[in-house]
Structure 1
Amino acid sequence: MGFFKKLFKGPEIDQAKSDANAGKMRLLFDQVVENGANYRLIFGYTEDVSRFNYGFVHGSRTKIGNLIVGWNETDLTIVVVPTVPDLSGCGEPTYYRRGEILKAYRNKYPTDAFVIYPDKRGYIAINAYDWLEDESLYVYVSQEKELADFTDFFQNRFATK
């Protein structure tokens, strides 16, 4: 029975690789966010879907943007830092303070995403999962507890009613 259990279990997380990437995320975040150590972190991503129509061919193309997402429960602030799957660098942080946003909610359909509208002109949808295996598109990090904690924070303290 043990053989079949292993056979159907699916891929397993390389915890050493995950821990190393979590450390890299922390270093990058702390470099660009003032008092970065006061934030807890998860990996998230955002999708930009562009539609195209070439005569009889209809389709879409998706661009993935990797994000380091930090949250501070005391300040009710979420900070989003763009990065790349290998964590070789990052962009400038964007701050979302609870008192300064228009609206925030968790969208369950068509994808499970945390959506923040800082104003009427734009929004960010943060997708996050406990682990994604595709290292070519996503940061390889296991974050089951962190994601549960972020979800609780977002829904109970950050989301607008």
Structure 2
Amino acid sequence: MGIFGKLFKGPEVDMEKSNANAKKMRVLFNQVVEDGDNYQLIFGYTEDVGRFNYGFVHGSKTKIGNLIVGWNADTQTIVVVPTVPNLSGCGDPTYYRRSEIHKAYRNKYPTDAFIIYPDKKGYIGINAYDWLEDESLYVYVSQESELAAFTEFFMKQFATK
């Protein structure tokens, strides 16, 4: 590979840390979801963009919400559990059953997100990537194959035409 190849490769995933966080995600998920081991898991996040306009000053502020996302192909269910980047705790699960949702699709712009409308009033946007380096905002976990499996599941069983 040579020295220049190593210099320009970019950051590498610390697999020991990633695997430890994947195990923590599983423990938290299983604590709040009945039969949690029947679900595959990925880390995802959601964004809440608040806009402000103070005369000459316009802008926005984004709040990041970390999520443990589980899915079960047999029951066609996605479960979303809120958490924090260091995985020190989690909130209550929200269930999205295919038979109960209004519509779902994958949004490519402005960010790659999985959008679920459980009804006509609200929605959740789940952003997910194979790895995000910023540990202050996101859970540190590498999940390339898991994300591919979730994407396939979502597009096949959840996305509405």
- TM-score higher than 0.5: yes
Paired position in structure 2 for 1:69: 69
Distance of 1:132 and 1:20 partners within structure 2: 15
Paired position in structure 1 for 2:16: 16
Instruction: Compute the displacement of 1:65 (Å).
Output: 0.2
Distance of 1:53 and 1:116 partners within structure 2: 29
Paired position in structure 2 for 1:59: 59
In the alignment, structure 2 segments of 5+ residues that lack a partner are none
Residues 58-116 of structure 1 deviation map (CA, whole Å, 9 limit, x = unaligned): 11000000000000000000000000000000000000000000000001111110000
Instruction: Compute the displacement of 1:53 (Å).
Output: 1.1
Paired position in structure 2 for 1:94: 94
In the alignment, structure 1 segments of 5+ residues that lack a partner are none
Residues 26-46 of structure 1 deviation map (CA, whole Å, 9 limit, x = unaligned): 000000000000000000000
Paired position in structure 2 for 1:36: 36
What residue identity is the alignment partner of 2:57? V
What residue identity is the alignment partner of 1:109? Y
Distance of 1:82 and 1:116 partners within structure 2: 16
Distance of 2:2 and 2:60 partners within structure 1: 43
| Residue identity (%) | 81
Point out 4+ residue stretches in structure 1 off by more than 4 angstroms: none
Paired position in structure 1 for 2:124: 124
Number of equivalences: 161
What residue identity is the alignment partner of 1:74? D
Match of 1:9, SS state, is coil
What residue identity is the alignment partner of 2:92? E
Distance of 2:159 and 2:110 partners within structure 1: 19
Distance of 1:6 and 1:56 partners within structure 2: 46
Instruction: Compute the displacement of 1:54 (Å).
Output: 1.6
What is the Cα-based RMSD across aligned positions, in Å?
0.7
